[in-house]
Amino acid sequence: MVGYTARYLKTESGYMGQLLEWPEVVTEGADIEECERSLADATNEMVLAYRELGKPIPVEHALFQTIMVEV
């Protein structure tokens, strides 16, 4: 099992979700719960597609850090 980091952004139509370690996995949903489910489904589909194409599945973990700045 591999864990990925999801990022969710509010959009005009709901939410956009994307995996930080695998940026090609991106999806949308009307609300955050729908977006989470859609992102999980998209990730599973990408795993299947990469396996079928013989492409390596990104499994390396990156370190993400929040940098605080005054705005």
- Other CB atoms within a 10 A radius of the CB of residue 18 amount to 20
pLDDT digits (tens, 9 = 90+) for 38-63: 999 999 999 999 999 999 998 876 67
Count how many domains the chain has.
1
In contact, 39 and 27? CB cutoff 8 Å: yes
Arithmetic mean of pLDDT, 23-31: 96
Give the separation between CA 70 and CA 36, rounded to whole angstroms: 30
pLDDT beyond 90 at 1: no
Host domain of residue 16 = 1-71
- Rg of the chain, C-alpha, whole Å: 14
SS3 content of the chain, % helix, strand, coil (to 5): 30, 25, 45
Give the separation between CA 59 and CA 2, rounded to whole angstroms: 7
pLDDT at 61: 67
Q: Which domain CATH number covers 40?
A: 3.30.160.250
